[in-house]
Amino acid sequence: MFRSFLIKYGEIGVKGKNRHIFEDALMKQIRYALRKADGEFAVTRDRGGRIFVEVKSADYDYDAVLYALRHVFGVIAFCPVVHVEDASIENLRTEIVRYVDEVFEKKDFSFKINTRRARKSYPLTSMQVDASLGEAVLMAYPSVHVDVHDPEVNIRVEIRDIVHIYSLEIPGAGGMPIGTNGKTMLLLSGGIDSPVAGYMTAKRGVIIDAVYFHAPPYTSDRAKQKVIDLAGKVAEYAGPVYLHIINFTDIQLAIYQNCPHDELTIIMRRYMMRIAEHLARENDCLGLVTGESIGQVASQTLQSLYVTDSAVTSMPVYRPLIGMDKQEIVDLSEKIGTYETSILPYEDCCTIFVARHPVTKPRLDIIERSERKLDGVIEGLLEEAYAHDELVIVGKN
Ligand code: ATP
Ligand code: MG
């Protein structure tokens, strides 16, 4: 019954020139989200800057449209709209009663009708239409009542070339449209945290490229597939996501063979950051993103984060989860649909080469001294790793 969806989006900070960039990015991402929904759709903008999803096919999958629109950052809410061709008041009275019948299961709410006339030649004033349609609803359903000041249901009637009727307002994902705030490189593991960190960064309009370090044969193809699947979940909001898969085995082995074992984790993390920074620079990213939060595990003490960050030379490292408790992160991962995949039990490279008693308060000078043992070996291994960068574009189709 709904033939279009009115998209409500925040306009704060998007006045002037930025406004078109914002709207274009929003429309592009709406089209992207709808690509898999059954039906044919057009995303349009009217002269007033209002964005609509118009249904072009006779049939379409309503639930799939809801699912899609809930995944578009920048959408604050959206309203399913009924179209009425015959704008005569007699027909509108019939249609408004049908609308209330089909949209509201229980007819026991307070309401008001709110008419706007874009077509000024219409023979009745807005207030006359309000009164007539309100009366029609009251006559059909004696258990509803009018409240013009604080109605539970606000039924909007817009008289344009055709008439639009809508009242439902479904909450969207909020945030800003993907593509309005540059691009970052997400260090994406198979864990719970980094997909959430990617979601939070993307929510601010940032395009997400990602890098995953795997260590075959110590980590399996299933572990790799799990990360691709997680990238796919993030891509439902942020996509498509360009995922770089880096073979980290030889680098890890070199660290294992040359450096003190209680420093393995921190040195490994520093090489992950260095590689991620290299890929970020090659791909026009303006920062790195990780899923770390202070104190969550031994490698996330302030000292560890300090030493990890020192490996990055030329760009900021964003840690959107920095102040969150594990439970808060878990809750968010459930909400965005990554949790189920994250808890699948496949090994990741950090858990395989981990020392029994890793340093929890590493010192930069000591770590740097240990890393010097890799001189002459590591450069070639890094070149190898870059040369075999496997790019998977996730969420393209
Ligand atoms: P997550 O749940 O995201 O795996 P974690 O709590 O397991 O995080 P660590 O293992 O210390 O924490 O990793 C910290 C961060 O480093 C991760 O959030 C992620 O951004 C990055 N990271 C860790 N391992 C990998 C990997 N194999 N590939 C890419 N990034 C990784
Ligand atoms: Mg992890």
What pLDDT is stored for residue 354 in this prediction? Answer: 73
Question: Can you say how many angstroms the Cα of residue 77 is from the centroid of all Cα atoms in its chain?
Answer: 15
Residues 14 and 160 grouped into a single domain: yes
Extract the runs of DSSP E, i.e. beta strands, from 230-327.
241-247, 288-289, 317-318
DSSP annotation of 204 reads B
Cα–Cα distance measured from residue 14 to residue 370, given in angstroms and rounded to the nearest whole number: 50
Domain range for 118: 4-171
Q: Is residue 106 part of a domain?
A: yes
Using DSSP, state whether 186 is helix, strand or coil. Answer: strand
Residues 145 and 247 grouped into a single domain: no
What pLDDT is stored for residue 15 in this prediction? Answer: 66
Q: Is residue 272 part of a domain?
A: yes
C-alpha 289 to ligand 2 mean position (Å) = 14
Q: For the beta carbon of residue 219, count every other beta carbon within 10 angstroms.
A: 24
The residues with which 164 forms a beta bridge, in sequence order, are: 83, 158
Q: Is residue 177 part of a domain?
A: no
Please report, rounded to a whole number, the percentage of residues in the chain having pLDDT higher than 70: 97
Query: CA angle 285-286-289, nearest 5°?
Result: 85
Q: Which ligand is nearest to the CA of 299?
A: 1
Burial grade of 60 (CB within 10 A; 0-12, 13-18, 19 or more): middle
Q: Is residue 176 part of a domain?
A: no
Q: Which of 146, 171, 196 is the last residue of a domain?
A: 171
Residues having C-beta closer than 5 Å to ion ligand 2: 189, 191
Q: Which of 121, 145, 171 is the last residue of a domain?
A: 171
C-alpha 187 to ligand 2 mean position (Å) = 10
Query: CA angle 172-103-35, nearest 5°?
Result: 40
- The structure tokens listed for 61 are 């999958």
What pLDDT is stored for residue 18 in this prediction? Answer: 80
Residues 69 and 209 grouped into a single domain: no
Residues 251 and 321 grouped into a single domain: yes
Q: Please check the confidence at residue 208 and state whether its pLDDT lies above 90.
A: yes
Taken as a whole, the chain contains a residue count of 397
Mean pLDDT of 155-179: 96
Residues 75 and 150 grouped into a single domain: yes
pLDDT tens digits along 326-374: 999 999 999 999 999 999 987 766 566 777 788 889 999 999 999 999 9
Residues 221 and 104 grouped into a single domain: no
Ligand 1 interacting residues, C-beta cut-off 6 A: 187-189, 191-194, 211-213, 272, 290-292, 296-297, 299-300, 348-350
Q: Which of 171, 195, 230 is the last residue of a domain?
A: 171
Residues 167 and 191 grouped into a single domain: no
Residues 98 and 245 grouped into a single domain: no
Q: Is residue 9 part of a domain?
A: yes
Q: Is residue 178 part of a domain?
A: no
Question: Can you say how many angstroms the Cα of residue 239 is from the centroid of all Cα atoms in its chain?
Answer: 8
The string of DSSP codes covering 118-146 is SSTT-SS-HHHHHHHHHHHHHHH-TT-EE
Report the candidate in 169, 4, 1, 170 with the shortest Cα–Cα distance to residue 98. Answer: 1
Whether the upstream peptide bond of residue 217 has omega within 30° of 0, thus cis, is: yes
Residues 116 and 241 grouped into a single domain: no
Residues 268 and 157 grouped into a single domain: no
Q: Is residue 128 part of a domain?
A: yes
What CATH number is given to the structural domain containing 116?
Answer: 3.30.2130.30
Mean pLDDT of 148-160: 96
- What is the total count of domains within the chain? 2
C-alpha 190 to ligand 1 mean position (Å) = 8
- Binned at pLDDT 50, 70 and 90, residue 49 comes out as confident
Burial grade of 123 (CB within 10 A; 0-12, 13-18, 19 or more): exposed
Residues 152 and 192 grouped into a single domain: no
Q: Is residue 38 part of a domain?
A: yes
Region of poorest pLDDT, from 45-49, 183-187, 259-263, 294-298: 294-298
What CATH number is given to the structural domain containing 333?
Answer: 3.40.50.620
Atom of ligand 1 nearest to the CA of 187: 30
C-alpha 150 to ligand 2 mean position (Å) = 49
C-alpha 74 to ligand 1 mean position (Å) = 28
Cα–Cα distance measured from residue 201 to residue 197, given in angstroms and rounded to the nearest whole number: 6
Ligand 1: which residue has its CA nearest to atom 20? 290
First-to-final CA distance of the chain:
28
38-47, Cβ contacts within 8 angstroms, sequence gap of 24 or more: 38/64, 39/64, 39/65, 41/65
Q: Please check the confidence at residue 152 and state whether its pLDDT lies above 80.
A: yes
Residues 160 and 204 grouped into a single domain: no
